[in-house]
Amino acid sequence: MTATTPTPPPATDAAPSAPAADAATLHTPVNAWFAAHARDLPWRRPEAGPWGVMVSEFMLQQTPVSRVLPVYEQWLKRWPRPADLAAEPPGEAVRAWGRLGYPRRALRLHAAATAITERHGGEVPDDHAALLALPGVGEYTAAAVASFAYGRRHAVLDTNVRRVLARVVTGVQYPPNATTAAERRLAQRLLPDDEATAARWAAATMELGALVCTARTPDCGRCPVAARCAWRLAGFPAHDGPPRRGQTYAGTDRQVRGMLLAVLREATGPVTQEQMDAVWDEPVQRARALDGLVADGLVEPVAQGVYRLPLE
């Protein structure tokens, strides 16, 4: 991992035994920084409501903000409430998902909207357990919706927060590949006692990781807690552990699935086998990819050699 050495602010003289970063010294500067520098994102505006927050969280799972923005706007305009989405076939959600990637998320969001409509009176639940029970909602998303939409006090551990805590508190460049119990304990320990402050802290630490304490080239000169950052104080030691997994894409089933589904999305009606076959010349892999899409519920066979996006 070639880690571009961050640009540290001129190392202040400060005592050799620099103050360790702890909860009390982090909340105020980080939350103040957020108040001054937070992006004006549509799902952060009051009119977004819990449903808007939930939609954004689904879309933002592994997809950058810039690509989510236009799709989010269209989505909320078309389906302003969960019941509006639930009233349409899941295939419409897949089509509207466009090229955000991981289209199973569209299916899960549709399923979540259906569950919300049927089990929660059409209102996005406000408690963590009920959220966690929804399709496509895991630990992170449940905490994020409860915190961002309802101001609840939850440790929100996403990739940004994990990286910030790894650096500022633990003193390492990157967090482990998988979230550990130690990270959860740390996040819990750092959580402000006050509910509103905790909710702000969750959003602030995420934003800090997204804008300043980035994966490749952190900009310590703009960091509100650089003076107490354990990683910086340690001299930016490079990541040791195993290399962080890099995923190849070209030539994989995922690529073929993507190409097949693109044909369905862009077609207005059912598509023939011949149209599907045109996207990939290797028949075994092509068949495997299509079978996978059908198994996942992303594609529905309507007749021998005819397919469409799912109506059910």
Which residues would be at the binding site for DNA (CB under 7 A)? 1, 4, 41, 43-44, 56-57, 60-67, 99-104, 108, 135-142, 144, 158-160, 163, 177-178, 206-207, 209-210, 214-217, 243-247, 249, 252-255, 257-259, 261-262, 292, 298
DSSP letter for 48, please.
Answer: G
Nearer to DNA, 128 or 228 (CB): 128
Question: Cβ(137)–Cβ(131) under 8 Å?
Answer: yes
Only one residue has tokens 């092509």, namely: 286
Known active-site residue 195:
no
CB of 60 vs DNA, minimal distance in Å: 3
CA-based nearest residue to 205, from 234, 175, 235: 175
Q: Catalytic pick from 57, 92, 207, 300?
A: 57
Nearer to DNA, 166 or 190 (CB): 166
Tokens read off for 108: 């899960």
Give the span between the Cα atoms of 97 and 93, in whole angstroms.
Answer: 6
CB of 269 vs DNA, minimal distance in Å: 19
CB of 20 vs DNA, minimal distance in Å: 25
Phi, psi of 273 (to 5 degrees): -55, -40
Nearer to DNA, 21 or 60 (CB): 60
Give the span between the Cα atoms of 141 and 94, in whole angstroms.
Answer: 20
Question: Cβ(300)–Cβ(294) under 8 Å?
Answer: yes
CB of 96 vs DNA, minimal distance in Å: 13
CA-based nearest residue to 150, from 67, 66, 229, 52: 52
Nearer to DNA, 39 or 77 (CB): 39
Catalytic residue positions, numbered? 57
